[in-house]
Structure 1
Amino acid sequence: MPAWETFGTVSLAESDALTALASITAGSVDAIIIDPPYCSGGFTEKDRVNASGHMSVRSLNWFRNDNMTTTGLVWLLRSVALEAHRTLKDGGSLCVFCDWRMTAALAPALESSGLRWRNMVVWDKCFMGMGSGPFRPRHEIILHFLKGKGMTGSSCVGNVIAEKRVSVKAKRHATEKPQALLETLIRATTPEGGTVVDVFAGSGSLAEAAISTGRRAIISEISASHIQTARERIKQKLTSSPP
């Protein structure tokens, strides 16, 4: 079982995603918002754009970062979706950041967990990324699934969200998402005072956004260095936020 620590409205643990989810009480959370490894051929956006194919498992660690095949990622995220179905309340949401290349493989696998595929949200980064030729990338996909027929959260959010990327100098993780984007997703999927989960937490961005929006957060991360960054980030945010 993970060794959960609590700081204010945030619980965190150094743990892999499946172990962390398995320790969460059934039917207890409003939303799970995750940014898993994309398996798109590289560790950074530039690497992904220039990739000619998927990476295979290498001699690092089990399913770390992008070191897995498409089949491996599908297996992992379907397993996550099965646990998400167990832990979500009725009307709860699973939101999965996804490279467009992986949508066709991941969406059916996630839906087979019993969750209902509700929408495909586009994050418009407001500026083109690396690459050459026409149609340079400026977006990422967020797959949205629901448990049951209802839905908690706000209905005043469109399925295209325009927010600038985190600047290179400000990043505390290679794939860090902007706070404004995460806050929008949290408000769209959870009620005030609700609980949001991230089991691929990186540097703790979602936990910080949860604090800002008045939600509780449960986060886990397999990397010891990243979970330490998240721990420090959460403490700083709690100190600077009004009670």
Structure 2
Amino acid sequence: MTLLCGDCRLLMPDHGPFDLIIADPPYGETSLAWDRHVRGWLPLAAKALKPHGSLWVFGSLRSFMATAPDFRAACLRQAQEIVWEKQNGSVFHADRFRRVHELLVQFYPEASPWRDIYNVVATTDDARGRVVRRKMRPTHTGAIGAASYRSVDGGPRLARSVQRFRNVHGRAIHPTEKPVALLDLIVRVSCPPDGVVGDWFAGSGAAGVAARLAGRRYVGCEIDAEMAQRALDRLASLLPFPAGERA
């Protein structure tokens, strides 16, 4: 496990290739000094992926629309997305609805077939026991007779694309810190057990915590020296670093 301090564009390519890249770049939607688009990191990240690897990026719909040409130029193809639903959310002065979600979008290299990209099917064990009966034949289906099936209580089903996790307001060490549980889900389904997670905008190191708990190798990079130290301390307190792992 390694956490670097500096510009990800300069440091991260030399630590690849990665099985999974997680990126939570500034969205560029506020007047805060740190909230500025980071140019040039996407093509470097794309080249740092293994052939079966993928890139999960946090953002708002507005930020993805603004950076869509950058993803195309980096030869990255959109695969799927998760809507992270959170409590409370935020409000800007021009909003008419409270923002209680963010997007997490998976991309993969155009040169790699989607079938070859590493993905474990995510399931949830919350299926309800019930009997479902077809009461009336839909007019467009043709001659299909009455039917029924039984759902087993507690059986697995495909995880939903809307995932609800509480945010970390009040206990975060970074203003845009993401919940470890959400990152843990991404790490486990998109990085093989012996794989390497690259965290190009490490922030608080939450993705490193998820990688550590999932047993994956991790390389993170944070440009702010004070935040990098806090993230490093956080990771070291979770499980001690073996000799030579600190960076």
**TM score, norm. by length of structure 1:** 0.76
Map 1:80-95; keep pairs closer than 5 Å: 80-95=41-56
Q: Is the 8 A contact 1:40 1:99 kept in 2?
A: no
Amino acid at match of 1:172: I
The CA RMSD over aligned residues, in Å, is 2.0
Query: Is 1:117 the counterpart of 2:83 in the alignment?
Result: no
**Is 1:162–2:124 an aligned residue pair?**
no
Amino acid at match of 1:33: I
The residue that corresponds to 1:152 in the other structure is: 118
Q: In structure 2, do the counterparts of structure 1 residues 89 and 158 end up closer, same or farther at CA, with 3 Å as the change threshold?
A: farther
CA distance in 2, matches of 1:160, 1:225: 34
What are the ranges of 5 or more consecutive residues in structure 1 without an aligned counterpart?
1-9, 44-63
CA distance in 1, matches of 2:29, 2:87: 21
Assess if the C-alpha contact under 8 Å between 1:107 and 1:117 holds in 2.
no
Does structure 1 retain, via aligned residues, the 8 Å contact 2:13–2:45?
Answer: no
What residue identity is the alignment partner of 1:14? Answer: C
Question: How much does 1:225 deviate?
Answer: 0.3
Q: Return the alpha-carbon distance in structure 1 between the equivalents of residues 79 and 73 of structure 2.
A: 13
Tell me how far apart the structure 1 counterparts of residues 22 and 167 of structure 2 sit (CA, whole Å): 18
Distance of 1:101 and 1:175 partners within structure 2: 17
| Number of the residue aligned with 1:5 | none
CA distance in 1, matches of 2:225, 2:28: 22
Change in Cα spacing, 1:108 to 1:118, as seen in structure 2 (3 Å) is farther
Identify the residue that residue 141 of structure 1 maps to in structure 2. Answer: 103
Q: Which position in structure 2 is the counterpart of 1:53?
A: none
Task: Tell me, yes or no, if the aligned pair for 2:15 and 2:219 is still in contact at 8 Å.
Answer: no
Structure with the higher fraction of residues in helix conformation = 1
Query: Are 1:108 and 2:69 counterparts?
Result: yes
Instruction: Please identify, of 204-213 and 108-117, the stretch whose mean Cα deviation from structure 2 is larger.
Output: 108-117
Alignment check: 8 A CA contact 1:202 1:221 kept: yes
Equivalent pair of 1:20/1:199 in contact (CA under 8 Å): no
Name the SS for the 1:32 alignment partner. Answer: strand
Pick from 7, 13, 22 the counterpart of residue 4 of structure 2.
Answer: 13
Give the residue type in structure 1 aligned to 2:197: V
In structure 2, the CA distance between the partners of 1:29 and 1:22, relative to structure 1 (3 Å rule), is closer
- Mapped to 2, the partners of 1:229 and 1:154 lie a distance apart of 32
Give the length in aligned residue pairs: 200
What percent of counterpart residues are identical?
32
8 Å Cα contact 1:111/1:145 also seen in 2: no
Distance in 2 of aligned mates of 1:183 and 1:236: 18
**Distance of 1:135 and 1:221 partners within structure 2:** 33
Match of 2:19 among 30, 37, 43: 30
Q: In the alignment, which residue of structure 2 is the partner of 1:99?
A: 60
3-state SS in 1 of match to 2:47: helix
Greater Rg by CA = 2
Structure 2: distance between partners of 1:82 and 1:131: 32
Q: Distance in 1 between matches of 2:87 and 2:239?
A: 30
Query: Structure 1 or 2: larger strand share?
Result: 2
